[in-house]
Amino acid sequence: MKAAEFDVNEKIGNVREILTDTQKKRGILIHAFQQIQKEHNYLPEEQLRLLSRKLDIPLSEVYSTASFYKHFYFKPRGKNVVCVCAGTACHVRGSHKVLEKFEEAFGVKEGETTPDLALTLETVGCVGCCGLAPVVTVNEDVVGDLSVKRVEALIKEVKGK
């Protein structure tokens, strides 16, 4: 969704009945980031400018709010996003080794994107599939019970995508 298309009243939900216009505009800010990011896969500057104008929130505020949250990005991200779970269950079952393997295979560090925008490598606190630790998500898919062999296969698969 583009910043210009937001319907503030609809997005804020049922509580709109008790809110002032300013509260509504502020209240949908994070939701707006999510929508923009869904479309562009990051938060492009011109969209943030549009949003700032539309919601009457200074750009600096818009930016400082977005940058507080880990989920928002200001640079384009890879076509595939691989996210290694670094939660407790995964940590004690060796997720750091899984991360190293990916770093090696793609020549990037955690949090980086390959120059050809093929892949972004990240870690997450826990994806909530701890029973299958160590766990990796590839885009929307959860892949668990990773062994050295399965990591290698997975790397191949991601490279092929």
Partner 1 sequence: MERLKSIDDLKKLSDRLKDETFRPEIPRVRLCSGTACTATGTPKVLSAMEEEAGKRGINLDIVKTGCQGLCQKGPVMKVEPQGLFYQKLKPEHAKAIISYTVLGNIPYRQSLYRDNILSEPIPEMTDVPFYKKQLRIALRNNGLIDPKNIHHYIAVGGYSALGKALGSMTPDRVLNEVDKANLRGRGGAGFPAGKKWKHTKSAQGKTKLVIANGDEGDPGAFMDRSVMEGDPHSLFEGMLLCAYAIGADYGMIYVRHEYPLAVKNLTHAINQAMELGILGKNILGTNFNFTIDIREGAGAFVCGESTALVASVEGERGFPRPRPPRLSERGGGVWGYPSNLNNIETYVCVPPIIEKGADWFMGIGTKNSPGTKVFALTGKVVNTGLVEVPMGITLKEIIYDIGGGVMDGKKFKAVQTGGPSGGCIPERLLDTPVDFDTLAKVGSMMGSGGMVVLDEDNCMVDVAKYFLSFCKSESCGKCPPCRIGTYQMLEILEKITTGKGESGDIEKLTAIGEKVKESALCGLGNSAPNPVLTTIKYFRDEYEEHIHDKYCRAKACSGLGVYSIDHEQCFLCGLCKQACGFDAVKETSRSFFIDQDYCTKCKACYLACPIGAVKIEKQKRKSVSVSG
In angstroms, how far is CA 142 from the centroid of its own chain?
15
**Prior bond of 134 cis (ω within 30°):** yes
Task: Rounding to the nearest 10 degrees, give the CA dihedral for residues 47, 52, 53, 59.
Answer: -110
Residues that bind ligand FES (CB under 6 A): 85, 87-90, 126-130, 133, 135
Question: For residue 109, how many other CB atoms are within 10 A of its CB?
Answer: 10
Is the Cβ–Cβ distance between 48 and 62 less than 8 Å? yes
Region of 42-50, 74-82, 84-92, 152-160 interacting with partner 1 (CB under 8 A): 84-92
Residue from 48, 51, 72, 106 in contact with partner 1 (CB under 8 A): 72
Query: Least distance in Å: CB of 123 to ligand FES?
Result: 10
Region of 46-54, 87-95, 105-113, 151-159 interacting with partner 1 (CB under 8 A): 87-95
Strands 136-138 and 80-85 turn out to be antiparallel
Q: Which is closer to partner 1, CB of 116 or CB of 140?
A: 140
- Regarding 102 and contact with partner 1 (CB under 8 A), the answer is no
Query: Least distance in Å: CB of 152 to ligand FES?
Result: 20
Residues 6+ apart with CB under 8 A from 49: 59
Residue from 7, 10, 18, 149 in contact with partner 1 (CB under 8 A): 18
Instruction: Give the residue carrying structure tokens 């991200």.
Output: 77
Footprint of partner 1 (CB under 8 A) = 12-15, 18-19, 23, 26-31, 33-34, 64-65, 68-72, 86-89, 91-93, 124-133, 140-145
